[in-house]
């Protein structure tokens, strides 16, 4: 049984971990969640939909592992089933971090069952849990299976989604997450022969003010302005367009083909698939339910109701492009089914249409 002071410290530990993972880029926005075990039947977890910067210790709900009921004003993260699965199967788990960290997520799109690493003659393997839709019992079962099959590892990659890392303390769990990311990055860089980093380099963005288009840069070329005009004309819900010209997005924009989602957050925020147009096909490239529009050899335009939303789309699109590059160079990618993408996308639109930070 933990004392009041110990519980208070764990509440603060969770917030400190969220903020440090944000600072170091393992968590972006609120895309992830963190928990701490209180006893065999209860754990604390980050609430759903609250920015980590706004979190206070008493805002963290306490979840009952028996029936998933919770105490507290705020609803627990929708990924609490995954946390419960780990606490109930691994005695060495007292603290868990779940992130959508870039390189582990990329490894989880290649259709592999584990990531093997050898360092100083020590071999370790990170299991890759089978795919299931986020928030489902099936996903928790898949993670549990990996936790049981690999009793020596404290990190599990979740196919097409992200990863979970755990330990006996906050520090141990965080160290595990970094160790996994380092190993994943080394793997992606060598096997996939790419050094491309996550980025959101900005080209020519714009917003709507009193029905008029305002360009962020005075020297926006006319050919770019035409695309902005086309998007605002076809999408009345769009108020901000962020032009992303990162290395990964530029590379993908040079290929005229169809981009299917490899990651859950892509299906949720960007859309169920994007066609990369040839220079002549721009007109048809603006779709009602897809929040990014590629421009041949010039990156992509990410759409939102605000700059914040459009930026969220740009971050997710960039990671999606990195995943495509990695999968292409690896030789295969484990693409999500259209049915799963459709389900996630429509669910996301219904629940979080104006709250782009709410991806789990
Ligand atoms: Zn997640």
At how many degrees (to 10) do helices 137-149 and 80-89 cross? 30
Instruction: Answer yes or no: do 219 and 75 share one domain.
Output: no
Ligand 1 centroid–CA 236 distance in Å is: 30
Of 190, 220, 235, the domain-final residue: 190
Read off the pTM: 0.94
Distance of CA 117 to the CA centre of its chain: 24
pLDDT band at residue 232 using 50, 70 and 90 as cut-offs: very high
Instruction: Answer yes or no: do 249 and 313 share one domain.
Output: yes
Ligand 1 centroid–CA 158 distance in Å is: 9
Distance of CA 347 to the CA centre of its chain: 16
How far is 160 from 123, CA to CA, in rounded Å?
24
pLDDT tens-digit map of 52-72: 999 999 999 999 999 999 999
Can you tell me the mean pLDDT for 244-266? 92
pLDDT at 37 over 60: yes
Helix (H, G, I), strand (E, B) or coil at 163: strand
pLDDT band at residue 258 using 50, 70 and 90 as cut-offs: confident
- Structural domain contains residue 199: no
Ligand 1 centroid–CA 77 distance in Å is: 9
pLDDT band at residue 238 using 50, 70 and 90 as cut-offs: very high
Query: What are the residues whose beta carbons fall under 8 Å from the beta carbon of 202, sequence distance 6 or more?
Result: 216, 242, 243, 244, 245
Instruction: Answer yes or no: do 14 and 149 share one domain.
Output: yes
pLDDT value, residue 358: 47
In the chain, how many domains are there? 2
pLDDT tens-digit map of 150-200: 999 999 999 999 999 999 999 999 999 999 999 999 999 988 777 889 999
Instruction: Answer yes or no: do 293 and 226 share one domain.
Output: yes
The residue behind tokens 């944000």 is: 22
Beta-carbon-side half-sphere exposure of residue 280 (alpha carbons within 13 Å): 0
Instruction: Answer yes or no: do 313 and 236 share one domain.
Output: yes
**Tokens (6 digits) for 146:** 């990996």
Q: How would DSSP label each residue in 167-217? A: ESSHHHHHHHHHHHHHHHHHHHHHHT---------B---EEEETTEEEESS
Radius of gyration of the chain (CA): 21
Higher pLDDT, 353 or 343: 343
Could you tell me the residue range of the domain that residue 86 belongs to? 4-190
- Structural domain contains residue 198: no
Q: Is 318 in contact with 248 (CB distance < 8 Å)?
A: yes
Q: What is the CATH classification number for the domain harbouring 266?
A: 3.40.225.10
Of 190, 214, 237, the domain-final residue: 190
Can you tell me the mean pLDDT for 329-352? 91
- Structural domain contains residue 338: yes
- Structural domain contains residue 309: yes
Instruction: Answer yes or no: do 243 and 272 share one domain.
Output: yes
Instruction: Answer yes or no: do 260 and 306 share one domain.
Output: yes
Ligand 1 centroid–CA 264 distance in Å is: 8
pLDDT value, residue 360: 44
Ligand 1 centroid–CA 135 distance in Å is: 8
pLDDT at 353 over 60: no
């Amino acid at each position: 049984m933990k004392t009041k002071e110990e519980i208070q410290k764990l509440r603060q530990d969770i917030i400190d971990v969220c903020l440090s993972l944000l600072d170091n880029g393992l968590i972006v926005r609120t895309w992830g969640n963190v928990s701490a075990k209180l006893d065999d039947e209860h754990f604390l977890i980050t609430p759903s939909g609250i920015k980590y910067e706004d979190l206070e210790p008493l805002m963290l709900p306490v979840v009952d592992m028996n029936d998933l009921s919770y105490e507290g004003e705020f609803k627990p993260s929708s990924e609490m089933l995954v946390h419960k699965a780990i606490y109930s199967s691994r005695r060495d788990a007292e603290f868990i971090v779940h992130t959508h960290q870039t390189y582990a997520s990329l490894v989880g799109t290649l259709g592999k069952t584990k990531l093997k690493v050898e360092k100083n003659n020590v071999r370790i393997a990170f299991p890759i849990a089978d795919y299931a839709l986020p928030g489902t019992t099936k996903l928790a079962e898949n993670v549990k299976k990996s936790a049981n099959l690999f009793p020596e590892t404290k990190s599990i990659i979740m196919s097409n989604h992200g990863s979970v890392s755990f330990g006996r303390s906050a520090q141990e769990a965080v160290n595990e997450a970094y160790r996994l990311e380092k190993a994943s990055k080394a793997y992606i860089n060598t096997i996939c022969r790419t050094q491309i980093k996550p980025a959101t380099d900005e080209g020519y963005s714009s917003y709507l003010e009193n029905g008029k288009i305002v360009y962020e840069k005075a020297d926006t070329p006319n050919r770019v302005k035409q695309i902005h005009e086309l998007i605002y004309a076809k999408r009345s819900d769009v108020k901000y367009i962020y032009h992303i010209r990162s290395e990964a997005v530029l590379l993908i924009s040079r290929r005229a083909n169809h981009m299917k989602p490899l990651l859950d957050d892509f299906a949720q925020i960007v859309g169920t698939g994007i066609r990369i147009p040839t220079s002549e096909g721009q007109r048809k490239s603006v779709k009602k339910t897809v929040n990014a529009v590629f421009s041949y050899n010039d990156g992509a335009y990410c759409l939102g109701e605000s700059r914040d939303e459009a930026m969220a789309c740009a971050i997710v699109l960039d990671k999606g492009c990195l995943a495509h590059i990695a999968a292409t160079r690896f030789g295969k990618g484990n693409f999500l089914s259209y049915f799963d993408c459709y389900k996630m996308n429509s669910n996301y639109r219904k629940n979080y249409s104006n709250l782009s930070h709410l991806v789990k």
